[in-house]
């Protein structure tokens, strides 16, 4: 705490000769809010006495209050709402039909195995758990992928998808200082924060077409072509967040053509493998396509959604290189960056993944549970579309909801309309019109359809 000397003077009665001394620790309730302050009487001068007051001032006075996170802030507002009909469609976390959090049964079994084996809690190496790294890259690329067999993949366990993206951002800043990242418009809100904090300049490429509530493919291709050669193009592997709009296989081919032509480096964010379609292989199509072409590729992975390991913070950053020597060097530098950042990753979630993937029985159970979760979201998506189509008598085409995939749906509502969803209907969502279908139940679809129709037509 810094101290500031405040000088005051006031009239005072004459002091007896014996009182002509320093006086300290005087109660001054009327002036200083009943606090004790040090008063130093420096002398008497015709009934007027001067004094100095030490006032503590925080060294952090200049720090302003940060705004609430646009996504996590939705949950805070939801919790403060006492309305019985409230609905939280903001944060992307899976809920049961009863809208309760869900821990996968296969995760519980894997944790019981860990207890039975008596696994310790020793530090992991900087690159993470070896069994996890092996399992995660094989899930991503396929166990028989030539890139794995030839040792061309540098894999480092990260702090879920966010931490893996951040580590890659630090790598780009250090070794590609003249390059920039290209991110879709719109994209997951944290992408911009991550690249800003990593000091990686970024720009946006067109992605969402509000006229069709679909993909602006021509705009996307045009912007990627116009970017400086060697840019890092951030792509969503599947279930694009926030729109739920993915390119078709044919469109992915054309995107790969342009990226290869421009010598760009594709950087995939894979947060929903297996959780979007229910198939691990189908949801990895885009990444495997780029790798099969011999391109060098970055891929950040997360197990928050497909295994429900939200709080375990388990994921990885993979760099697929042109040769094994390059992969070894890249991995060494990723470890060098991770060491002062967080030293080494947590072990619990990594062991869960490794145990499930490494056990054929548990692995099959996991795939069944993923299909169940993905299936519930598909059912909710279908029901919401049916309710909108039945209730909206204008003839508006709501089929874009069915064309989207994954846990999110872009409703086409603007900020003012989204505010109406919250203020009038107590439906909590992000201001860009995105809703998380994972937080919706079949029983609530009709209510949500009423809220959307009211906001769309009655709020300009």
Q: Give which of 299, 241, 311 is closest to 275, Cα–Cα.
A: 241
Q: Give which of 406, 352, 436 is closest to 237, Cα–Cα.
A: 406
Dihedral sign for Cα atoms in the order 30, 31, 37, 42: negative
pLDDT(186) > 50: yes
Question: Which residue spans within 102-180 are E strands per DSSP?
Answer: 153-159
Answer yes or no: same fold for 72-101+371-458 and 105-362. no
105-362 domain in CATH 3.40.640.10?
Answer: yes
Which pLDDT score, from 0 to 100, does residue 42 have? 45
CA atoms within 13 A on the CB side of 268: 33
Reported as a single tens digit per residue, the pLDDT across 193-219 is 999 999 999 999 999 999 998 999 999
pLDDT(131) > 90: yes
Residue with tokens 């209907």: 425
Which pLDDT score, from 0 to 100, does residue 23 have? 42
Which pLDDT score, from 0 to 100, does residue 129 have? 98
Cα(183)–Cα(266) distance, integer angstroms: 11
For residues 4-15, give the mean pLDDT.
48
Q: Give which of 328, 280, 279 is closest to 137, Cα–Cα.
A: 280
Which pLDDT score, from 0 to 100, does residue 376 have? 96
pLDDT(385) > 90: yes
pLDDT(377) > 50: yes
Strand partners, 202: 181
Cβ pair 125, 156 in contact under 8 A:
no
Phi-psi map region of 360: left, alpha, beta (phi>0 left; psi -120 to 50 alpha) = alpha
224, 228, 229, 234: CA torsion to nearest 10: -50
CA atoms within 13 A on the CB side of 261: 12
Cβ pair 275, 405 in contact under 8 A:
no
Which pLDDT score, from 0 to 100, does residue 2 have? 52
- In the numeric block, which tokens belong to residue 125? 């190496």
Reported as a single tens digit per residue, the pLDDT across 28-56 is 444 444 444 444 444 444 455 555 566 78
Q: In whole angstroms, how large is the CA radius of gyration of the chain?
A: 29
Which pLDDT score, from 0 to 100, does residue 48 have? 56
Residue 172: CB atoms within 10 A of its CB come to 21
Reported as a single tens digit per residue, the pLDDT across 404-458 is 999 999 998 999 999 999 999 999 998 889 999 999 999 999 999 999 999 999 9
pLDDT(6) > 80: no
Reported as a single tens digit per residue, the pLDDT across 419-434 is 999 999 999 998 889 9
For residues 352-374, give the mean pLDDT.
96
Which pLDDT score, from 0 to 100, does residue 73 have? 77
- Indicate the pLDDT class of residue 20, thresholds 50, 70 and 90: very low
- In the numeric block, which tokens belong to residue 287? 């990444």
pTM score, whole prediction: 0.85
Query: How long a stretch of residues is the chain?
Result: 460
Which pLDDT score, from 0 to 100, does residue 173 have? 98
Which pLDDT score, from 0 to 100, does residue 460 have? 79
**What mean pLDDT value characterizes the chain?**
89
Cβ pair 301, 155 in contact under 8 A:
no
Which pLDDT score, from 0 to 100, does residue 75 have? 81
pLDDT(100) > 80: yes
Phi, psi angle pair for 314, to nearest 5°: -120, 130
Reported as a single tens digit per residue, the pLDDT across 105-114 is 999 999 999 9
Query: Could you tell me what percent of the chain has a pLDDT over 90?
Result: 80
If one looks up domain 72-101+371-458 in CATH, what number appears? 3.90.1150.10
Q: Which residues are catalytically annotated? A: 188, 269, 305
Question: Which residue spans within 161-313 are E strands per DSSP?
Answer: 181-185, 202-206, 208-209, 214-215, 232-236, 265-270, 297-302
Reported as a single tens digit per residue, the pLDDT across 249-304 is 999 999 999 999 999 999 999 999 999 999 999 999 999 999 999 999 999 999 99
Q: Of 8-22, 73-87, 111-125, where does the model show the most confidence?
A: 111-125
Domain boundaries, the chain: 2-57, 72-101+371-458, 105-362
């Amino acid at each position: 705490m810094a101290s500031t000397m405040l000088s005051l003077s006031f009239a005072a009665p004459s002091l007896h000769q014996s009182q002509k001394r320093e006086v300290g620790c005087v109660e001054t309730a009327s002036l200083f809010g009943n606090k004790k302050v040090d008063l130093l009487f420096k002398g008497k001068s015709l009934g007027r006495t001067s004094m100095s007051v030490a006032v503590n001032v925080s060294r952090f006075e200049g720090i302003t209050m940060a705004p609430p996170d646009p996504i996590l802030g939705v949950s805070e507002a939801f919790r403060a709402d006492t309305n019985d009909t409230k609905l939280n469609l903001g944060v992307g976390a899976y809920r049961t039909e009863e809208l309760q959090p869900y821990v996968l049964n296969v995760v519980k079994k894997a944790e019981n195995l860990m207890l039975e084996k008596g696994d310790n809690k020793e530090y992991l190496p900087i690159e993470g758990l070896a069994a996890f790294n092996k399992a995660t890259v094989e899930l991503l690329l396929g166990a028989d992928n030539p890139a794995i067999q030839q040792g061309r993949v540098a894999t480092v366990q990260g702090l879920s998808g966010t931490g893996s993206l951040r580590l890659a951002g630090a790598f780009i800043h250090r070794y590609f200082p003249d390059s920039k990242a290209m991110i879709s418009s719109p994209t997951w809100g944290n992408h911009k924060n991550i690249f800003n904090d990593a000091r990686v300049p970024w720009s946006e490429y067109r992605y969402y077409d509000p006229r069709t509530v679909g993909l602006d493919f021509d705009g996307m291709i045009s912007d990627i072509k116009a970017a400086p050669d060697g840019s890092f193009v951030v792509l969503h592997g599947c279930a694009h967040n926030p729109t739920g709009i993915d390119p078709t296989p044919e469109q992915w081919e054309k995107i790969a053509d342009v990226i290869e032509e421009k010598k760009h480096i594709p950087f995939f964010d894979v947060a929903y493998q297996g959780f979007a379609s229910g198939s691990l292989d189908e949801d990895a199509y885009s990444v495997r396509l780029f790798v099969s072409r011999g391109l060098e590729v970055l891929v950040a992975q997360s197990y928050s959604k497909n295994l429900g390991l939200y709080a375990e913070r388990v994921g990885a950053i993979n760099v697929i290189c042109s040769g094994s020597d390059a992969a070894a060097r890249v991995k060494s530098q990723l470890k060098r960056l991770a060491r002062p950042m967080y030293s080494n990753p947590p072990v619990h979630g990594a062991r869960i993944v490794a145990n499930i993937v490494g056990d054929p029985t548990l692995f099959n159970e996991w795939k069944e549970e993923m299909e169940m979760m993905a299936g519930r979201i598909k059912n909710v998506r279908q029901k919401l579309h049916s309710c909108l189509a039945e209730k909206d008598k204008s003839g508006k085409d709501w089929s874009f909801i069915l064309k989207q995939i994954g846990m999110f749906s872009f409703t086409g509502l603007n900020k003012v309309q989204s505010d109406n969803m919250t203020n009038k209907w107590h439906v909590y969502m992000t201001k860009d019109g995105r809703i998380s279908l994972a937080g919706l139940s079949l029983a609530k679809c009709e209510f949500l359809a009423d809220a959307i129709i009211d906001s769309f037509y009655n709020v300009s």
